[in-house]
Structure 1
Amino acid sequence: MRVLLVEDEKGLGQAIKEHVADEGHAVDWFMTLADASTSLATTPYDLILLDLMLPDGRGIDFLKNLRRSGGQVGVIILTALDQISDRIAGLNAGADDYLVKPFDLGELSARITAMQRRLNMTGPVALEIGELSIEIDHKLISRCGQAIDLSAREWAVLERLLRKKDAIVSKVQIENCLYEYGAEVESNTVEVYISRLRKKIGKKYIETLRGVGYRFKVTDDEIK
């Protein structure tokens, strides 16, 4: 996923960014609402992790404006405001979830996974495709009963393809799920990860449409 993190506390922001990135997501971290808004205007995000008290304004107002403009991106509020009234206000403003600081990073991971399911971003929890058995939530995959070990970024690419089963996923879309804003992306990065996936899960599952992108095959007629 491509994640927008809006958090002005440096230590916490760095910890969240590193933790979410280690799980295979691309994270853009900003400490002001102005910078977050600028990035949101040009980058398609799957999820926003939003603090409510920022140096240049209130996250709740940012969220309200986002929803008024028709933005459907998932939003998890991360805040020290722990009153019931604060939670109600956040959810009524359009948040999908609300996590009170301090929180365990493992709980944040669980909330993100739940968000993916809620937004139908990963499809069914368990998939049986050809010789493959895939448990997306637990990041488990096996082929003919033999477990396959995938890196965080290999999982990120696989999940992006599975989100659009039988549909074409462009090279740019895959790059967006791998790298945060400003990161240097080598020209053959996507090809490298696709090649690694094919070696591990089998070449027949991922189709290359030259000049267009990639497609994950899911029907028996296609998988040969």
Structure 2
Amino acid sequence: MRILLVEDEAHVGEYLVKGLGENGLVVDWVRSGVDAVHHGANVDYDLAILDVGLPGLDGWEVMKRLRATRPLPVLFLTARDRVEDRVRGLELGADDYLVKPFSFSELLARVRVILRRGRQQDATVLTIGDLSLDVLRRRVERAGQRIELTVKEFALLTLFLRRQTEVLSRTLIAELVWEMHFDRDTNVVEVAVRRLRAKVDEPFASSYIHTVRGFGYVMEQRA
């Protein structure tokens, strides 16, 4: 996996190149927005880690230009910790936003989640254990058994499979599957998850969809 790191602070850049490299990632490090756009136009990166305050072009503009030619996941790594800046980054389409100073272990975890999500987004057959979902054929099977799902159940399962090991809030699920703002008085998400579990989990020896009390759900294999 190849990462474009855009960071003008030498000590931060050196630290990240070393740390990410030790974890098996190839990192191209540039220090200006102009260089970032040039590299992005010529190399097929899996992720860009961008500072916001850059010489030449700021991180917002760099992301806009990088994505003008191809889809590219972006993680903002910046000292700008105002809520307004975080909201702006996410509204512009950033995949994540991490404020300096930061823990390298947290950064690495977030990078891995984004990279894993990117690979899953490209896949047409999604799997976990003995469960598989064919996006193009709209076919779901577990342990060789065909499972019939409604349109919304299929969309919900696709979301869980594409974002395995991520804890998904009820609010996020409602927005992505039903395109609605979450109303605390409605139980549409809980009902849908319960019906999905009844089809893909309960008839089998192990479960993949788990409740995270007080927040939402996660799909993962557990011993």
User: Aligning the two structures, in what range does the TM-score lie when normalised by the shorter sequence?
Assistant: 0.5 to 0.7
Q: Which amino acid aligns with 2:56?
A: D
TM-score (norm. length: structure 2):
0.53
- Structure 1: 5+ residue stretches without partners: 129-224
CA distance in 2, matches of 1:94, 1:121: 18
Q: How big is each residue's C-alpha offset from its partner over 1:96-148, in whole Å with a ceiling of 9 and x where there is no partner?
A: 000000001000110011112322359779669xxxxxxxxxxxxxxxxxxxx
For residue 3 of structure 2, give the secondary structure of its aligned residue in structure 1: strand
How many Å separate the matches in 1 of 2:54 and 2:25?
24
Percent of counterpart pairs with the same letter?
A: 41
Does residue 65 of structure 1 match 2:65?
Answer: yes
Aligned residue number for residue 28 of structure 2: 28
Amino acid at match of 1:21: G
Structure-to-structure mapping, 1:74-89, within 5 angstroms:
74-89=73-88
1:1-224 correspondence runs (5 A): 1-67=1-67, 69-121=68-120
Q: Which residue of 1 aligns with 2:155?
A: none
Ranges in structure 2 where 5+ consecutive residues have no aligned partner = 131-223
Q: Aligned in 2, Cα 1:116/1:125: closer, same or farther, shift over 3 Å?
A: farther
TM-score by length of 1: 0.53
C-alpha distance in 2 between matches for 1:49 and 1:27: 10
- Highest Rg: 1 or 2? 2
SS in 2 for 1:54: coil
Amino acid of the structure 2 residue aligned with 1:117: R
User: Size of the alignment, in residue pairs?
Assistant: 127
- For 2:117, the aligned partner's letter is R
CA distance in 1, matches of 2:98, 2:106: 9
* CA distance 1:44–1:58, change in 2 (3 Å): same
Cα 1:24/1:125, change in 2 over 3 Å: farther
- 2:128 and 2:23 map into 1 onto residues whose CA distance is 19
| Corresponding letter in the other structure for 2:20 | V
Label 1:127 to 1:97 Cα distance change in 2 as closer, same or farther (>3 A).
Answer: same
Q: How far apart, CA to CA, are the structure 2 residues paired with 1:24 and 1:126?
A: 24
